[in-house]
Structure 1
Amino acid sequence: MEYARKVGSKIKLYSELVMFSHTLFSLPFAIISMIWAAEGFPTWRVMLWGLIALIGARNGANAFNRIVDRTFDAQNPRTAHRHLPRMLLGEKEVLLFVVVNYAIFIFAAAMLNTLCFILSPVAIFLISSYSYTKRFTYLSHLYLGFTIASAPIGAWFAVTGQFAFTPFILGTVVMLWIAGFDIIYGSQDIEFDRNHGLWSIPSIFGLKNGLRIAAGLHLIMVMLLIALIPIRHLGWLYIAGIAIAIFLLMTEHKIIKPSNRKVMHVASYNLNQVISMVILLFTLCDYFLI
């Protein structure tokens, strides 16, 4: 019983380390991509290995980011509570966690098809290199979005094993969306970033201009979602879902208050988790019911 409790506690720590609940940012778009690629539900085999690949890559990348940023996290009052600064987990065991998850990702990619397997080392390089971008470019927000955009693109490859136009539109939607709310989230650390030589759009361009840039990225994101209507022959349910997503995005930008950590968490994370699920639900209903 004591052993089971310790295992459960350790699993909880790793789940918190990689913020597993944030899988809701990429997973819904990966599912949409799979459905469209398969023109219906893909086989259970593809769904299973695709999901395993997504989770392995995401967990590995997040844990690697925690290792790379551990010094800055310890110095930043907003992040000093994280697991490595508080020594709730050791660096070596987190590094082992990274290696295991990347190995799982590569194996899952190999189980899908040759293209996924060939591209898996490239994907690992891209998602790992994000951790260093804030040290030399304010475009780190877009690079983060770019790495997460691999979810819908990779999902399409998992089903078809071929390149296509649609998944790259979905990927661009994800990239702009993630970059936009990462800028919002980063507005909490303007002074810290400036004082420690870290690059971000808010720290370089200021709070107001940074938020304008975030709003601009989200506007382009919405335009691309609308552009998918004629490309994918989407109906009124999809349009209704996009309308709700637009309302939530507007709410997100309206409530921004960098001095209030709880409000910023809602704006940067909670609302965006709802947005992705709304888009998924209405897109699937549109596809299967109309």
Structure 2
Amino acid sequence: MSEPDPSNTVADAPRGNWVDTLLPPRWRPFAQLARLDRPIGWWLLLWPCWWSVALASGVAGRPLPDPVLLLLFLVGAVAMRGAGCTYNDIVDRHIDARVARTRSRPLPSGRVKLREAIAFMVAEAMVGFLVLLQFDLFSVTLGIASLGVVAVYPFMKRVTGYPQLVLGLAFSWGALMGWSVVFQGLSAAPLALYVGAVAWTVGYDTIYAHQDREDDALIGLGSTARTFGEQSRPFLAVCYTLAVAAVGTAVALAHGHVFAWLGLAGFAAHLAYQVIRFDMDDGERCLTLFRSNREAGLILFTGFVADALIRSL
């Protein structure tokens, strides 16, 4: 394993990640644009998709979610998260150059030219579009409809103190998509699941935003971390309570059995732990709690899969 060159790394990526140590130097900036050195983002984008597929599978009487669908959503999540991050970096390249945590990213540091970043974003989006084309027409149309929310998100922190809400609307779209590809339509259950995923996203991204609270204040950017400040813990509790209530509504509407409720209980316990452990002035703890939502998502998904299996017997 080679020692990473500090001039070719990103300050807010985990030290010694595989992108910095294994990829050829020419490829690294593009992998960093796609956030391949930080997989937590695509996990958080993926979980609502997989929750929705698993919940729909139980309703459809299937013992397990279709592995092909899970794989397609995995590929799509990695590609579209990468495209979204690249787009965000293009829009925010001048802002990122003014923030200590982000000025080493490929665009503000000059390691990738703007035209190269645009071409790379288009290539990532094409991968996501090819995945989308594997689904039915309703789902394809539904997926395309999400692009409007994705397009406006990077600008929201310039005009509102609630950009996390717009992120939630975009990042949670998979809660609709998973159900749609199983049933070629939507119902009340995936809509409730979507609301729960949005509230979950607003909560965990508020935790994440506290790392940049002071820099955002200096350059006049909005976030729920700045909006709620010392009241962030109660706000986080409200977001997570709404997330659990909405997901519970989805389970009830889908006539989930005991394992779905057990998965929801485990999910709720994990979110409560985050609220208890939250410290707005401890950046390292905020990052750790944010990343722990990968496990929170896994707990709920496991419950939905187990429920589908039991229901099919």
Q: Which residue of 2 aligns with 1:226?
A: 248
Tell me the TM-score normalized by structure 2: 0.81
Q: Which residue of 1 aligns with 2:161?
A: 138
Q: Distance in 2 between matches of 1:159 and 1:17?
A: 29
Q: Which residue of 1 aligns with 2:275?
A: 253
- From the superposition, tell whether residues 144 and 154 of structure 1 become closer, same or farther in structure 2 (CA, over 3 Å): same
Once superposed, what is the RMSD of the aligned Cα atoms? 2.6
Q: Which residue of 1 aligns with 2:115?
A: 92
Q: Which residue of 1 aligns with 2:225?
A: 202
1:273 correspondence with 2:294: yes
Which of 66, 72, 76 is 2:95 aligned to? Answer: 72
Q: How does 1:154-173 map to 2 (within 5 A)?
A: 154-173=177-196
Q: Distance in 2 between matches of 1:161 and 1:222?
A: 26
Quick check: 1:56–1:105 contact (8 Å CA) kept in 2? yes
Quick check: 1:138–1:200 contact (8 Å CA) kept in 2? yes
How far 1:63 moved relative to its partner?
1.3
1:183 correspondence with 2:206: yes
Which of 29, 38, 63 is 1:19 aligned to? Answer: 38
Identity value in percent: 20
Q: How does 1:227-246 map to 2 (within 5 A)?
A: 227-246=249-268
Q: Distance in 2 between matches of 1:48 and 1:188?
A: 33
1:285 correspondence with 2:306: yes
How far 1:243 moved relative to its partner?
2.3
Q: Which residue of 2 aligns with 1:151?
A: 174
Which of 132, 135, 140 is 1:112 aligned to? Answer: 135
Q: Distance in 2 between matches of 1:27 and 1:123?
A: 15
Quick check: 2:164–2:205 contact (8 Å CA) kept in 1? yes
Q: Distance in 1 between matches of 2:272 and 2:56?
A: 31
**Any stretches of 5+ residues in structure 1 without a counterpart?**
none
- Give 1 or 2: higher helix fraction: 1
How far 1:272 moved relative to its partner?
0.8
Q: Distance in 1 between matches of 2:234 and 2:32?
A: 36
Q: Structure 2 counterpart of 1:81, which letter? A: S
How far 1:43 moved relative to its partner?
5.2
| Segment drifting more, 109-118 vs 218-227 | 109-118
SS in 2 for 1:111: coil
Q: Structure 1 counterpart of 2:301, which letter? A: L
The structure with higher relative contact order (CA 8 Å, sep 6+) is 2
- From the superposition, tell whether residues 18 and 160 of structure 1 become closer, same or farther in structure 2 (CA, over 3 Å): farther
- From the superposition, tell whether residues 35 and 268 of structure 1 become closer, same or farther in structure 2 (CA, over 3 Å): closer
Number of equivalenced pairs: 286
- From the superposition, tell whether residues 192 and 43 of structure 1 become closer, same or farther in structure 2 (CA, over 3 Å): closer
Quick check: 1:126–1:147 contact (8 Å CA) kept in 2? yes
Tell me the TM-score normalized by structure 1: 0.87
